Amino acid sequence: MAADHQVMMLNKGTDGSTMVFEPAFLSIEVGDTVTFVPTDKSHNAETIKGMTPSADATFKGKINEEFSYTFDVAGVYGYKCLPHLPMGMVGLIQVGGDSSNLEALKAVKVPPKAAARFEELYTQLQ
């Protein structure tokens, strides 16, 4: 049974940090869907180039729109809110317990606040 997970796009997270996806880390199964919910305005969710298991496995939601994506390829996905990437608005999704493309993610340059959040998110990989 494929599951449907929800990620909220928030100006302020429950821990008080600003411009966040919540939860920022998800571990899901192949075939599961994630729905990004525009709880607050001015956010989107889109994969970061080089931070997906394959060049085809990408997604891009529109600003202020609820957006769903079904993950058919195992591996780790790094994604961002385009307007708030410099403020560290990023998230990480692990699919099928696979982290074989992690080194590729770590090689991608992102702004310092985003890099710091990714470092924290990488510690949650299973």
Q: Between 84 and 117, name the residue whose CB sits nearer to Cu ion.
A: 84
61 beta partners: none
The C-alpha angle 17, 10, 97, rounded to 5 degrees, equals 85
Q: Between 26 and 81, name the residue whose CB sits nearer to Cu ion.
A: 81
Residue choice 10, 20, 81, 93 for contact with Cu ion (CB under 5 A): 81
- Binding flag, residue 80, Cu ion (CB under 5 A): no
Stretch that binds Cu ion, among 33-41, 63-71, 81-89, 96-104 (CB under 5 A): 81-89
Q: List b or e across 73-90, with b for residues whose CB sees 16 or more CB atoms inside 10 angstroms.
A: ebbbbbbbbeebbebbbb
Residue 17 and residue 56: Cα distance in Å, rounded?
A: 32
Query: Which residues in the 43-62 window bind Cu ion by CB under 5 A?
Result: 43
Cβ atoms of 9 and 24 within 8 Å: the answer is: no
Query: Which residues in the 86-125 window bind Cu ion by CB under 5 A?
Result: 89
Q: Between 74 and 89, name the residue whose CB sits nearer to Cu ion.
A: 89
Q: Which residues bind Cu ion (CB under 5 A)?
A: 43, 81, 84, 89
